[in-house]
Structure 1
Amino acid sequence: MSADPLIDSLLAALDARPDDLPLRLHLAGLLIDAGRGAEAIAQAGQALARDPGNAQAQAVMQRALGVPAAEPVAPLAQRAVPAGDDPLAAYEQELADVVPPRFARAGDEREPVQGDDDRVYDVESPPVRLADVGGMAAVKERLELAFLGPLRNPELRRMYGKSLRGGLMLYGPPGCGKTFLARAVAGEMGAKFVSLSIVDVLDMWIGNSERNLHELFEAARRSAPCVLFLDEIDALGHKRSQVSSSSMRTLGNQLLAELDGMEGDNEGVFVLAATNTPWDVDPALRRPGRLDRVVLVLPPDAEARAAILEYHLRERPIANIDLRRLVAATEDYSGADLAHLCETAAEFAMADSVRAGVVRMIEQRDLERALSEVRPSTRPWLSTARNVAMFANEGGVYDDLVAYLKRRKLL
C-alpha cells in the first residue's frame, strides 16, 4: 500500500475509468512531485497511447523524463538579422540541425574530375560485381577473356603482348541489363566508371560537341584504370552514310579519333558500348582496335529470371508464391519487364487491401493477374533481329544472334 492515500485513490479511480485522460495526467503529475518518476512515465505513456497528439501528455512525459521545457521560438520574420547579411544564409545556419541545406553536397559515391575547361565530370566507383548479375554465363566468359583475365594476370599479359586497351559493344533487347553489366565490369576490375551519352556531348555551338567528347575521354584517361561506357552508341556513332547533318558526321569522326587514341593514350581505358540496334552503328566503329568485340546480351534465362524475381520481391510482403511457375511463364521477359511485373502485382494487392480495409500479402493470384497485363517488351526487337539475322549478317557479325534464334526456333 502506498504512503500517499490520494495517489492510491486516483489509482483506484483509474481502474474504473481507464480512458479518463485528465485524471491520468493529474495522477502522473502527483507521481512526479512524489519522486515516483518511473510510475509517472508509465501513466504518461498510456495517455499518449490513447491520444498521441495530446500536448499536455507530451509535457508531462518530458517532466517525467527530466527533459527541460523548450523555450518559445519567435517566428523567423520577427528575428533580428545582422545588417548586410543574407537572411536566408543566416536562417539556414541557425536551423542547420533541423532543416537540411538548400543545396545538396556531393556524396562519397561519386568523385568529381575537373576538365580543362572547368567542367566537372562524375567518376564513379561502382559497388556491384559480376556475381550480382544473374545468369549471362556466356557474356561473363567473354568479358573475362577480353578484359578481366589480362588485368588480373599482368605477367601473362606482358608475355603475350596483350594490351589493356580495347573496346567491346554489348547489344540486345532493351531492359536486359547492359548498363548494369557495364557497371559490374568496372566493379569487378576495381576500376572507375564514366558514363557517356549523347546528351553529355551535344552542344548548339559549332565545335563544342567535339570538345565535350574529347573532355569526357580525357576524364576517363586521368582516372585510369577506368571503364568508359558509351550508352546508346547508335545515337552517337550512327552510320555516317545515313546522317544528313554535317555536325553529326564530324562528331562521329571525333569519336573514331578518340577510340584510336590519336588525342591521347588510351592505355587502361576500357571502352564498353551498348545499343539496342547494332545494325545502325557505323561499321568503322567495329574496326579492330576500336569496338572490335561484339557480345549479345539476351533476355534473362530461367536462372536469371528466378534471381531477378526474388530480388524484386525480397522486401515486399509475399505468401505462397510459386517461383518455378512464374519463371516458366516469363520467357522472353527482360529484367525491366520482370521488375514491372512485380510492381503491378503489388499494385493489385494494395488496391484490394484499400477496398477491403484489411492488409493482405501479395499472392500468386496477383502475379498471375499481372502476367495477363504485362507483356514481354523484347518480342518486337526479336522480330526485327530475325530480319537482320536472315538478310544482313555480313561477315558473321550476328552469328550469336542466329544461333539463339535457331535454338528458339524463331529462324
Structure 2
Amino acid sequence: MEIDQFLMEMDGVESLSKDILIIAATNMPWNIDPALRRSVRFTKQIFIPPPDKDAREEIFRVHTRDKPISRNVDFKKLAELTEGYAASDIKAICDRAAEIPWEETLKGGEEREIEMDDFLQAIKEQKSSLIPWFKEAYKALKESGEMSLFEDFAHYILKYGGEIEEVKKPDISFKDVGNLEEVKDIIRRELIYPIKNPEIAEKFKKEIGGAILLYGPPGCGKTYIAKATAGECDVPFFNINITDILSEREGVSEKNLHYIFEKAINNAPAVLFFDEIDAIVCRRDIYGSGSEKRLVNAFLTELDGFKKATGLVILAATNMPWNIDPALRRAGRFTKQIFVPPPDKDAREEIFRLHTRDKPISRNVNFKKLAELTEGYAASDIKAICDRAAEIPWEETLKGGEEREIEMDDFLQAIKEQKSSLMAWYRAAEKQLIKSGEQDIYKELFDSIKKFKKIKSREEEIKEILDEEREKLGLPSRRERESIKRLLSKKSEIERMIEITRKKYRDKEIDEKTFSKLIAEYEKRLIETEVKIETLKKKR
C-alpha cells in the first residue's frame, strides 16, 4: 500500500508545474521495487563509489589537519594501504592513530607526535567495513539477476565482494621457493618481466599477462610457485578451487566461472590460479557429460576473452595433464606448459634448510646427506620428514627426558618412516601417458618417469643406508635411545620417592631411623641410574 502511494505521489509531481528535484539514497538498491525506475520516476541512478586513492589521501589529510603529525607520515602510502575502505573507516584510523601516543602519555611516556607506525598499527586493527557489505550486495544482485542494471556498482561488487575469499597480495616471492630455477626463469621471462616493465613490453609488442599450465607430480610446489609469482609481481592472488565453481544447479557453474573471471579482470593486474584444472576442463571426448562439456566450453570462452584485461596472469596446475581437454593448449590459451619436477639434490637440501630454519638443529645434522637419502621424494615428503624429526625430541621431553636439539638420528628415523609419496603417481602417469598417446606433448614428464624408474630400487636399500649413517656418525642405536628414555623415567620416579619420604619425615609419619635408611637406599639407586645414563650418552 505504501509503495503504491509513493508511486502515485511521484507521478503527480509533474502536474504541479514547479521545479522540484527528488533525490533518494539507499545502501540496498536490490530491495527497491522495479516500478520506481520507470520513466518520469527515478530514471537516473548514480552510484557513489568508495573513495579512490586521491580521495583517500585527501580524507587522511582532512582528519589530521588539527593533530600533531610527524613529518614521517606518508599520506600517499596510507592511501595505497586502504584500498576498499570507506571514508568513515579512514576517519576511524586517524582517530585510533591519535589515541596511541595519547595513551602512552597517560601511562607516563614522553609526549610525542603521531607517527607513521601509529597509522600502520591503526590500519592493522581497522578492517574495511565495506567488504561484508559488498559480499551481501554480490549475493543479493546475483539472486535477483539485476547485476547488469547497476553497471558501475557491479564493477566494485566484482572487485571486492565476489564469492572468492578476500584476495590479498602474497607475502612470499621466488626467494622462498627452493630451487626450480628453470621454472622460475620461464615465468619471469613470460609473465613477470612484462608486468613490471610495461613500457618495454609495449615497445617490443609483448603481451602484459598470459596463461601458463604447471603440471607434474603432487606435492612438488605448483601451488606454492603460483602464489610466489603473485608475490614477485606484487599483485593480488586468486586461488580458485573446484568447489568455488561447481554447482548442482544447471547453468550455475558457468555463471560462477564468469564471475570469477570478471572479479579477476576488475582487480588486474592480478594472478588468477586454477588448482586441479583437470577437474574443470576434463577431456570432452572421454569424460564429458552434458554439464561437463558446457563447463569446458564456458572456460574456453572465458579464456579467449580474458586478454581484454592488461596484466591478468592465469596460472593453472594439474597432477593429471593427460586428462585435460586438448583445446586448452591451442594458440592464445595455455600455449606454454611447464613441467614442475620433484626437487633435485640441491633443491632437496634447500627444502630441508627452509623447513628447519626456525628449529633447534644440532650441528651433527648433515643436510647434504639427507638430500642424498631422499632422492625421488616430493617437497611435501621432505616437510613431513622435518616435522617428524622435530617431534622425536619433543615427545622424549614430554615423557620426562632432557630437552635436546634435533639430531641427525632423528632425521634418519623420520626418513625410515616416511616413504616417497610419488611412487604410485609415477606408475599411473606412465600408464596414462602411453594410453593417451601424448608422450611427445609432455616429453619432460616422460623423461622424468624414465629417471624415476631407475632410482626407485634404492627404496629397498634405505634401511641399510640409514644404519650405516648411524654407525659413521657414532650415534646411539634405537635400542640404546629407548634404554636412556627408560632410565630417565626411572630417575624421575626415584627423585619423586625421595621427596615423598622427606615430606613424611617432616610430617612425623616416619621416625629418623626409617627416614635415613630409605633415603640411603633411594640415593644409591639414583646414583646407579645416573651412571648408566651417562655411560649410554657417552656413546654419542
The letter for the 1-side match of 2:276 is E
Instruction: Map Cα deviations across residues 142-179 of structure 1 (whole Å, 9 max, x no partner).
Output: 11221122223333322332222421110111111111
1:141 aligns with 2:185: yes
- Find out whether 1:273 has 2:325 as its counterpart: no
Asked whether the 8 Å contact 1:197–1:236 carries over to 2, the reply is: no
Write the deviation string for residues 268-293 of structure 1: whole angstroms up to 9, x where unpaired: 21110000000001111111111111
Q: What do residues 164-195 of structure 1 show as CA deviations (whole Å, max 9, x unaligned)?
A: 24211101111111111001111111221111
Equivalent of residue 249 in structure 1, options 293, 300, 311: 293
Considering fraction of residues, name the structure with more strand.
1
Instruction: Decide whether the 8 Å contact of 1:128 with 1:187 is kept in 2.
Output: yes
Secondary structure of the residue that 1:240 maps to in structure 2? coil
Scaled by the length of structure 1, the TM-score of the pair is: 0.68
Q: Residue 17 of structure 2 corresponds to which residue in structure 1?
A: none
Range 161-170 or range 354-363, more displaced = 354-363
Specify every segment of 5 or more residues in structure 2 that has no aligned partner in the other structure, as ranges: 1-124, 143-156, 456-540
Q: Which runs of 5+ in 1 are unaligned?
A: 1-104
Conserved? CA contact 2:230–2:237, under 8 Å: yes
The 3-state SS of whatever aligns with 2:247 is: coil
SS of the equivalent of 1:331 reads: coil
Name the CA shift for 1:126/1:296 in 2 (closer, same or farther; >3 Å).
same
Pair 1:386 & 2:403 matched: no
Q: In the alignment, does 2:340 pair up with 1:284?
A: no
Of residues 268, 272, 284, the one that matches 1:228 is 272
* Compared CA separation, residues 177 and 250, structure 1 to 2 (3 A): same
Find the residue that maps to 1:168 and give its secondary structure.
strand
1:407 is displaced (CA, Å) by 5.2
Q: Is contact 1:226–1:269 with CA below 8 Å preserved after alignment?
A: yes
What displacement does 1:361 show?
A: 2.1
Amino acid aligned to 1:267: T
Q: How does 1:169-208 map to 2 (within 5 A)?
A: 169-208=213-252
- Alignment correspondent of 2:395: 351
Question: Sequence identity of aligned pairs in percent?
Answer: 38
CA–CA distance in structure 1, aligned partners of residues 253 and 357 of structure 2: 44
Out of 315, 321, 333, the position equivalent to 2:358 is 315
The worse-fitting range, judged by mean Cα deviation, of 228-237 and 396-405 is 396-405
Partners of 2:282 and 2:288 within 8 A in 1: no
Query: How far apart are the structure 1 equivalents of 2:310 and 2:323?
Result: 28
Distance 2:288 2:261 in 1: 26
Is the contact between residue 220 and residue 378 of structure 2 (CA under 8 Å) also seen in structure 1?
yes
What per-residue deviation string (whole Å, max 9, x for no partner) do you get for residues 222-242 of structure 1?
A: 000011000100111111122
Q: State whether residues 147 and 164 of structure 1, in contact with CA within 8 Å, keep that contact through their aligned partners in structure 2.
A: yes
Q: Distance in 2 between matches of 1:197 and 1:354?
A: 39
Deviation at 1:208?
1.3
The more displaced of 111-120 and 184-193 is 111-120
Query: Deviation digits for residues 11-39 of structure 1, max 9, x if unmatched?
Result: xxxxxxxxxxxxxxxxxxxxxxxxxxxxx
State how far apart, in whole Å, the 2-side matches of 1:216 and 1:224 are: 12
In 2: Cα distance, 1:228 partner to 1:314 partner: 31
Across the two proteins, how many residue pairs are aligned to each other? 305
- Paired with 1:232 and 1:350, the residues of 2 have a C-alpha distance of 36
The DSSP-based 3-state class of the residue aligned with 1:271 is: strand
Structure-2 separation of matches of 1:236 and 1:284: 13
Aligned-residue RMSD, C-alpha? 2.6
1:368-379 maps to which residues of 2 (within 5 A)? 368-379=412-423
Counterpart residue number, 1:25:
none
User: What is the CA distance between 1:410 and its match in structure 2?
Assistant: 4.4
Given the superposition, is the C-alpha separation of residues 106 and 182 from structure 1 closer, same or farther in structure 2, using an over 3 Å criterion? farther
Secondary structure of 1:270's aligned partner = strand
TM-score under structure 2 normalisation?
Answer: 0.53
Aligned partners of 1:107, 1:384: CA distance in 2, in Å? 47
Higher relative contact order (CA 8 A, sep 6+): 1
Other-structure match for 1:51: none
Q: Which one has the bigger helix percentage?
A: 2
2:210 to 149, 163, 166: 166
Q: Measure how far apart 1:140 and its partner are.
A: 1.0
| Contact map agreement 1:393 1:399 (CA 8 A) in 2 | no
- Quick one: distance in 1 between partners of 2:433 and 2:300? 26
SS at match of 1:396: coil
* Matches of 1:240 and 1:409, distance apart in 2: 31
- Please name the residue that 2:340 is paired with: 297
Aligned 8 A contact 1:389 1:401 in 2:
no
1:22-61 alpha-carbon deviations (Å, 9 max, x no partner): xxxxxxxxxxxxxxxxxxxxxxxxxxxxxxxxxxxxxxxx
2:326 alignment partner AA: P
